[in-house]
Structure formats: C-alpha cells, structure tokens
Amino acid sequence: MDIQLSGKRAVVTGGGSGIGAAIAKILAEAGAHVLIGDISEESGEGCAAEIRARGGEASFIHLNVADPVKVSAAFAAARASYGEIQILINNAGAAKSAPFVRTDLDMWQQMMAINLTGVYLCCRETLPAMLEAGYGRIVNTASTAGLVGYAYTSAYCASKHGVVGLTRSLALETARTGVTVNAVCPGYAETEMTKRTVENIVKKTGRSEEDARAEIAKHNPQGRLIMPQEVANAVLWLCLPGTESMTGQCIAVAGGEVMN
C-alpha cells in the first residue's frame, strides 16, 4: 500500500477490537501513527503491539468516551506526547436492545453517552486544531440503524441517527475549511457486538446459533455478515488524498440493505 498518510496522527476510538482494530491496522499500513483509544487496556495495547510488530506506528491511550473529564485528559496527554491529531475515527460504540416500554432511562442515557455524546466530545477535542491547520479528517462509525428504523433498539437507533445528523451538520460548518466529516454505516458485521446479539436471540427464543445468525444475515441482500475489513477499507478511502469533495456523506456498508 502507498504510504499516503505518512506523518499523520490518527485517533481511533474503540480501536482495540472488531471494526476499530481493522481501521487502526489499515491506517497504520497507510503510514499514519495510530493512537488506539480504548476502555480496555488489554485490547488496546494488544492491537498496538500487533501493528508495531508489522512495522507500523501505534500507541495506546486509555479512553472512556462516555466520561467528559477522562476524554479531555486522554486527548491532552495524546497532544502532549504526539502532537495534534489530523484524523479522528469515532468508532467506539455499544448496543443494547429492549422493547421501548422496557427501555429504562439508564439504558437510554448509556446509549446516548457512548454512541453520540462520545462522538461530540472527541470532535470537540480535535476539531479546533484541524480548523487552524486547514486540514482534517473525521469519520464516524454510525450504523444502518442511523439511516432506517429497527424494532426493539429504540435507544441505539436514536443514538446512531444522532451521529448521522451530527456528521451532516458538522460537514456543512467545515465545508470550506479543509476538514471533511463523514460516516460509515455498517450493517450487521462479524464482530463481538453481533455475537452478543446472536447469543441474546438464542437465549430468548431457544433457536440454534446457526438459525440466529441466518436470521441476522437476512437483513443483508447478499445474505451474509459484513467483515470488519470492508468497513475499514471505506474509512481509509475517506481519509486518503483525493477525497476532498467527500463530506457530509453517510456511506452504508451493508450489501445493499440500505440504498441512499
């Protein structure tokens, strides 16, 4: 791969596993120094070590995107050690499901804090320097749930719709600054989050794991789960030179499930 991001510093939140780890690795392959922000030191340090073993540049920063004080502290430490951030990938997320009448305030606030407010907090920490430099790339991991409605996931769905709205609004505000703001919207992917969804279906319905996975895969017209690398490929493209006109876009990586 051409080292087109050489000299750039990128933060990937939730970068220790799943889609986040795939994004971190591909950005490092393109030459970026990747700061893997994760609440799990084991996962984050493990991914950073793997990148370094492959010859890339990566460091771990402990990051809880739902805590404003910890977010500020983490980014302040990152700036002090590595300099300003040119690329921000807001990937950290969580999913819980329940019928709306059983969606209590704690679940609602948790989904908003992690999935939406966390994006706001991380953008707030990095955008001023991007604007001053006249360059920056922000890519938010939303979901097809940010583009359409799904039953029994009202809190998650609302939070991801919020990410889509924030992406579009921020893209318009920064349209003439050299900063682009986009989102990728994966369908059901081969991740731990989907694994937990399968386990939940098995537990509640008594169906086999195979049947549960097949039911989830039906959402995708291609009849399969999305691979994390496919999402990472889309994120990388949005960060590379030559995509300056791509801003305010929410790209569904979902096998045709959602067509804009």
Q: State the catalytic residues.
A: 156
**Residue 34 and residue 24 in contact, taking contact as beta carbons nearer than 8 Å:** yes
Query: Among positive and negative, which fits the CA dihedral 240, 245, 251, 253?
Result: negative
Q: Which helix (H) or strand (E) holds 19?
A: helix 18-29
3-state secondary structure 117-156: HHHHHHHHHHHHHHHHHCCEEEEEECCHHHCCCCCCEHHH
The pair of structure tokens assigned to 57 is: 């540049």
Query: Among positive and negative, which fits the CA dihedral 7, 13, 14, 20?
Result: negative
Helices 154-173 and 105-112: crossing angle, nearest 10°? 30
